[in-house]
Amino acid sequence: MKLRTLAFLFLFSLHAAAFADDEHGWGARYLANAGVMIEQGETKVLFDPFFRDGFGFYDLVPEETESALFDGVAPWDGIDAIFISHYHGDHFHPGVVTDYLRRWPSVHAYAPQQAVDALLAEVNEPSEELLARIHAIDLERDSEALEFELEGLFIEAVRIAHAGWPNRHSDTENIVYRVTLDDSATVMHLGDADSGKEHYEVHDEYWQKQKSDLALVPVWLMLSEKGQHVIDEHVDAEHEIGMHVFKSIPDNPEEREPKFEGLDIFTEPGETRSFEQ
Ligand SMILES: [Zn+2]
């Protein structure tokens, strides 16, 4: 783990580099909370980009960033697909997602059935064209992974229990995506996944089939022994970035509590990480 962290530090970049300018690079750009854009050349995807609730604890996407997404202003242009982890107000707003999909008829959306139901409730008589771009993921927790293909993207999805299992949110369909961009960068986004290893063990074949270059994990996995076990033994990505971090956590790593030492976390909307292929 330590070695990986060290290797990564050399690639760490705080300035808003245009990954597309570097033919060997790809990167992640932080929106807020669990919202992240991944860019690999011309291929771009968004995870949990449009939401309205921070519940007082979490950053919201800056208004100018959301406007740039809607207006297609670089680097927030040319989005191929958006992925919704689950239908909670700090990850997903059905009205905003619907508006975005109507604004950009080239964008596909992948979302759990619960979120798709909410999306369709926003739309009066949705067109065939819109329906064809909304992909509902209807999974039980122990179902095998679903696979989708879109130009430049290979998409896999499993359902992993929401944090708080089994007492809270046990009916919430939380989807973990593994997305490969242009056959090169593979990124996993865990939404609000729980830290119990029992949720991951049933999908061992899924985790082992394809190693992820990057996993975007809710920070609570990083901060507990149980969660760290899941990250090391099941998720097993080349690098992890913690997301869903309280906005009270300082942007400057040196000002953070000791428990964050050595952890790579997203805290400041707009910050980036770049990686080499
Ligand atoms: Zn949630």
Range of the domain at 74: 26-272
**Dist. CA 192 → ligand 1 center (Å):** 5
Least confident span in 14-23, 40-49, 93-102: 14-23
Longest Cα pair distance anywhere in the chain, in angstroms?
54
Cβ-contact 178, 83 below 8 angstroms? no
Residue 3 is assigned to a structural domain of this protein: no
pLDDT at res. 125: 87
Q: Which residues pair with 134 in a beta bridge?
A: 109
Q: Is the pLDDT of residue 20 over 70?
A: no
pLDDT at res. 6: 41
**Dist. CA 252 → ligand 1 center (Å):** 26
Q: pLDDT tens across 103-142, in order?
A: 999 999 999 999 999 999 988 889 999 999 999 999 999 9
Residue 13 is assigned to a structural domain of this protein: no
Question: Percent of the chain beyond pLDDT 90?
Answer: 87
The residue assigned the tokens 């790809």 is: 26
**Dist. CA 125 → ligand 1 center (Å):** 29
Q: What's the rounded Cα separation, in Å, for the pair 253 and 262?
A: 9
Residue 68 is assigned to a structural domain of this protein: yes
Q: What's the rounded Cα separation, in Å, for the pair 263 and 4?
A: 11
Residue 8 is assigned to a structural domain of this protein: no
Q: Which residues pair with 103 in a beta bridge?
A: none
3-state secondary structure the chain: CHHHHHHHHCCCCCCCCCHHHCCCEEEEEEEECCEEEEEECCEEEEECCCCCCCCCCCCCCCHHHHHHHHHCCCCCCCCCEEECCCCCCCCCCHHHHHHHHHHCCCCEEEEEHHHHHHHHHHCCCCCHHHHCCEEEECCCCCCCCEEEEECCEEEEEEECCECCCCCCCCCCCCEEEEEEECCCEEEEECCCECCCCHHHHCCHHHHHHCCCCEEEEEHHHHHCHHHHHHHHHHHCCCEEEEECCCCCCCCCHHHCCHHHCCCCECCCCCCEEEEEC
| Alpha-carbon distances, residue 165 vs 1, 194, 242 (angstroms) | 27, 7, 20
pLDDT at res. 210: 95
Q: pLDDT tens across 224-267, in order?
A: 999 999 999 999 999 999 999 999 999 999 999 999 999 999 99
Least confident span in 12-21, 162-171, 181-190, 262-271: 12-21
Q: Is the pLDDT of residue 79 over 90?
A: yes
**Dist. CA 86 → ligand 1 center (Å):** 7
pLDDT at res. 3: 44
| Residue list, CB under 5 A from ion ligand 1 | 88, 192
Residue 174 is assigned to a structural domain of this protein: yes
Give 21's pLDDT tier (boundaries 50, 70, 90).
low
Peptide bond into 62 cis (omega under 30): no
Q: pLDDT tens across 185-225, in order?
A: 999 999 999 999 999 999 999 999 999 999 999 999 999 99
Residue 11 is assigned to a structural domain of this protein: no
CATH code at 122?
A: 3.60.15.10
Residue 101 is assigned to a structural domain of this protein: yes
Give 13's pLDDT tier (boundaries 50, 70, 90).
very low
User: How many domains would you assign to the chain?
Assistant: 1
**Dist. CA 277 → ligand 1 center (Å):** 32
**Dist. CA 217 → ligand 1 center (Å):** 13
**Dist. CA 209 → ligand 1 center (Å):** 27
Q: What's the rounded Cα separation, in Å, for the pair 191 and 175?
A: 7
pLDDT at res. 7: 44
Q: Is the pLDDT of residue 16 over 80?
A: no
**Dist. CA 77 → ligand 1 center (Å):** 27
Q: Averaged over 134-158, what is the pLDDT?
A: 96
**Dist. CA 58 → ligand 1 center (Å):** 12
Is this prediction's pTM over 0.75? yes
Q: What's the rounded Cα separation, in Å, for the pair 76 and 162?
A: 29
Residue 19 is assigned to a structural domain of this protein: no
**Dist. CA 118 → ligand 1 center (Å):** 15
